């Protein structure tokens, strides 16, 4: 049985390791458009800020594939999957046959429809190559515009600010981190960011980008203009689902998978950012988060070996640090009709903590504050996931529970077999 894995990120590597724990003899080929060894995209902002060296980005040694007895085809783009012939076709025309296939090709930055956006001076912040260019170009005094105000965008802004760049963040929606924070948390975080010297403009639609004398002039729909030397586009991501059109969900982007991570195409699995998988709450969706990719890859890899495992529905959870504050959310952070919001301001190390509760059962939370308290927020996860009632949220978060808590946040960090920077840095989408 020949296994082919397309992708060299969290899901693909997790799948390979899970497969090899069950099958040491079947041949495996890993194909990736990027060269190995595998690196952590989550760590790119830490590298750009100088927190970790370049070699710290890599989560496995160069000989990891040799030790896992996997053949590698790196630096090659897969053009299509021929499910009928059970083979993948590379851009150079070569075909690789498979018995079972895992598509773990991740996601790509979404490009907003802005005239003149493509061209010199404009880039993303999604790959190792992106980070390398920014490491070269971000110098004190450089004017940087960041399009978008999600985690990737704000991490890029923070790293550039720490390097002495003049940073402006432009967001189409009315607040920063609109998929992660509620209005109040976003307001508090925005204040922190602006106090640091980063400019933020929300409810702004950039209509066009023009170039003159090495300068970028970005014009907003309301006729305001922003001048920059570099523009980073960080307006979200889209799954790379074009390889397997017959498995793309009719409900939205991504390859539809069952809890076994199998697609509707025989002998083809999908995992990670490309997979539209079962989610907490009964829906299906794409959760572009490192721990989710690791968990899905682990299930897919085991099932490539016939283990018959199922993936526990994904629960949206984010945690990161930026501008001196830890930001976290889990589950839902906006109230639905009939639900209550419990807001706690008076806990040590907590700037803002809101719980969404329905009939005594927590449905989600959003948090701003120090690292020491976010671990306690992680203890809410089983209550949210399994519908356990929380009789007294205030008692749950009482001061004695916060005393002496470690700064590590294992509830969102990847599993130990795919750790990042010794497991001390959790994920940022």
What is the model's pLDDT at position 396? Answer: 81
What is the model's pLDDT at position 332? Answer: 86
pLDDT at 419 over 70: no
From 304, 339, 361, give the residue that closes a domain: 304
Residues 365, 414 within the same domain: yes
Mean predicted confidence (pLDDT) in 2-21 = 96
How remote is the C-alpha of 136 from its chain's centroid?
24
Residues 401, 418 within the same domain: yes
Strand partners, 150: none
From the CB of residue 243, how many other CB atoms can be counted at a distance below 10 Å? 21
Q: How far apart are CA 248 and CA 45, in angstroms?
A: 31
Residues 194, 246 within the same domain: no
Residues 95, 79 within the same domain: yes
Are the C-beta atoms of 268 and 104 separated by less than 8 Å?
no
> Would 311 be classed as within a structural domain?
no
Residues 201, 254 within the same domain: no
Pick the closest to residue 286 from 4, 6, 11, 1 (CA basis): 11
How remote is the C-alpha of 350 from its chain's centroid?
25
Tell me the chain's radius of gyration from C-alpha atoms: 22
Give the CATH number of the domain where residue 369 resides.
3.30.390.30
> Would 428 be classed as within a structural domain?
no
How remote is the C-alpha of 191 from its chain's centroid?
24
Average pLDDT over all residues of the chain: 88
Residues 344, 401 within the same domain: yes
> Would 382 be classed as within a structural domain?
yes
Are the C-beta atoms of 99 and 3 separated by less than 8 Å?
yes
Of the candidate ranges 32-41, 333-342, 396-405, the one whose mean pLDDT is the lowest? 396-405
Residues 294, 351 within the same domain: no
From 304, 336, 351, give the residue that closes a domain: 304
What is the model's pLDDT at position 281? Answer: 75
What is the model's pLDDT at position 226? Answer: 92
What is the model's pLDDT at position 2? Answer: 98
Q: How far apart are CA 165 and CA 134, in angstroms?
A: 11
Residues 88, 24 within the same domain: yes
Pick the closest to residue 112 from 148, 72, 152 (CA basis): 148
Give the CATH number of the domain where residue 51 resides.
3.50.50.60
Mean predicted confidence (pLDDT) in 294-320 = 92
pLDDT in tens, 177-196: 998 899 999 999 999 999 99
What is the model's pLDDT at position 81? Answer: 96
What proportion of the chain, given as a percentage, has pLDDT over 90? 68
> Would 336 be classed as within a structural domain?
yes
Mean predicted confidence (pLDDT) in 10-32 = 97
What is the model's pLDDT at position 249? Answer: 83
Q: How far apart are CA 368 and CA 189, in angstroms?
A: 8
> Would 416 be classed as within a structural domain?
yes
> Would 115 be classed as within a structural domain?
no
Residues 330, 387 within the same domain: yes
Q: Which domain holds residue 354?
A: 317-423
pLDDT at 260 over 60: yes
From 246, 279, 304, give the residue that closes a domain: 304
> Would 245 be classed as within a structural domain?
yes
> Would 360 be classed as within a structural domain?
yes
Residues 273, 337 within the same domain: no
From the CB of residue 140, how many other CB atoms can be counted at a distance below 10 Å? 8
Kindly give, in sequence order, each residue whose CB lies less than 8 Å from that of residue 188, ignoring residues fewer than 6 positions away: 351, 352, 368
Residues 52, 93 within the same domain: yes
Q: How far apart are CA 308 and CA 313, in angstroms?
A: 16
Is 0.85 topped by the overall pTM? yes
In order of 149, 192, 395, 403, the CA distances from 168 in angstroms are 10, 14, 41, 38
**What is the number of domains present in the chain?**
3
Residues 98, 55 within the same domain: yes
Q: How far apart are CA 216 and CA 209, in angstroms?
A: 7
Pick the closest to residue 182 from 305, 8, 288, 330 (CA basis): 330
């Amino acid at each position: 049985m020949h296994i082919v894995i397309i992708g060299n990120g969290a899901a693909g590597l997790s799948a390979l390791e899970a497969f090899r724990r069950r099958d040491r003899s079947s041949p495996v080929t890993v194909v990736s458009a990027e060269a190995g060894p595998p690196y952590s995209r989550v760590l790119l902002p830490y590298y750009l800020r100088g927190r970790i060296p370049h070699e710290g980005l890599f989560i496995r040694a160069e000989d990891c594939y040799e030790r896992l007895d996997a053949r590698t085809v790196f630096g090659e783009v897969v053009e299509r999957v021929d499910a009928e012939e059970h083979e993948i076709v590379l851009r150079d025309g070569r075909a690789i046959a498979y018995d079972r296939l895992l598509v773990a090709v991740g996601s790509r930055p979404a490009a907003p429809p802005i005239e003149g956006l493509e061209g010199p001076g404009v880039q993303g912040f999604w790959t190792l190559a992106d980070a390398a260019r920014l490491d070269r170009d971000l110098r004190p005094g450089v004017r940087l515009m960041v399009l978008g105000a999600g985690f990737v965008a704000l991490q890029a802004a923070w790293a550039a600010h720490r390097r002495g760049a003049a940073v402006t963040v432009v967001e189409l929606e009315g607040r920063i981190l609109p998929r992660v924070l509620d209005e109040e948390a976003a307001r508090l975080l925005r204040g922190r960011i602006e106090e640091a010297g980063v400019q933020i403009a929300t409810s702004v639609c950039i209509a066009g980008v023009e170039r003159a004398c090495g300068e970028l002039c970005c014009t907003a729909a309301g006729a305001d203009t922003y001048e920059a030397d570099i523009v980073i586009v960080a307006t979200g991501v889209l799954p790379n689902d074009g390889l397997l059109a017959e498995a793309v969900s009719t409900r939205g982007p991504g390859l539809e998978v069952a809890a076994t991570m199998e697609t509707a195409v025989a002998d083809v699995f999908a995992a990670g950012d490309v997979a539209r998988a079962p989610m907490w709450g009964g829906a299906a969706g794409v959760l572009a988060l490192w721990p989710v990719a690791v968990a899905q890859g682990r299930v897919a890899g085991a099932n490539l070996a016939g283990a018959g495992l199922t993936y526990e529905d994904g629960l949206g959870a984010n945690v990161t640090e930026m501008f001196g504050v830890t930001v976290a959310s889990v589950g839902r952070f906006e109230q639905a009709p009939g639900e209550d919001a419990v807001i706690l301001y008076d806990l040590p190390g907590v700037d803002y903590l809101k719980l969404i509760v329905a009939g005594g059962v927590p449905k989600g939370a959003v948090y701003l504050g120090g690292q020491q308290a976010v671990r306690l927020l992680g203890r809410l996860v089983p209550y949210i996931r399994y519908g356990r009632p929380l009789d007294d949220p205030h008692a749950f978060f009482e001061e004695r529970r916060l005393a002496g808590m470690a700064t590590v946040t294992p509830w969102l960090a990847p599993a130990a077999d795919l750790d990042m920077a010794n497991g001390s840095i959790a994920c940022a989408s």
